A = this chain, B = another copy of it.
Amino acid sequence: MDFKVFILGSGAAIPTLKRGTTAHLISCFQRNILIDCGEGTQIQFRRFRLKFQKIDIICITHLHGDHVFGLAGLLSSMQLMGRTNALRIIGPKGLNKLIEAQLDLVGHGDFFPLEFHILPENFVGTVFEDKCIKIAAFPLNHRITTFGYRILEKQNKRRLDKEAFDATGVSVSYIGKLIQGEDIIDNDGRLVRSAEVTIPGKPAKSYAFCSDTAYTTSILPHIQDVDLLYHEATFTNEFADRAAQTGHSTAAQAASIALKANAKRLVLGHFSARYDDELQHLEEAKAIFSQVFAATDGAVFNL
A residues lining the B interface (CB < 8 Å): 13-17, 20, 39-40, 42-43, 46-47, 63-66, 68-70, 72-73, 76-77, 80-81, 94, 97-98, 101-102, 105-107, 143-144
Number of copies: 2
**Given A13-B76, A43-B17, A46-B17, residue A102 in contact with residue B101 (CB < 8 A):** yes
Q: With A and B bound together, what is the CA distance between A14 and B69 in angstroms?
A: 16
Q: Is the Cβ of A64 less than 8 Å from the Cβ of B106?
A: yes
Q: Is the Cβ of A65 less than 8 Å from the Cβ of B73?
A: yes
Q: Is the Cβ of B47 less than 8 Å from the Cβ of A17?
A: yes
How far does the Cβ of A242 sit from chain B's closest Cβ, in whole Å? 13
Q: Across the interface, which residues of B come within 8 angstroms of A76, CB to CB?
A: 13, 65-66, 69
Q: Is the Cβ of B101 less than 8 Å from the Cβ of A14?
A: no
User: Which of these, B39, B63, B68, contacts A40 with CB under 8 Å?
Assistant: B39
| 8 other A-B residue contacts (CB within 8 Å) besides A98-B102, A101-B102 | A13-B80, A14-B77, A17-B43, A39-B70, A66-B76, A97-B101, A98-B105, A101-B105
Q: Is the Cβ of A73 less than 8 Å from the Cβ of B39?
A: yes
3 shortest interchain CB distances as A-B pairs: A101-B101, A39-B73, A69-B73
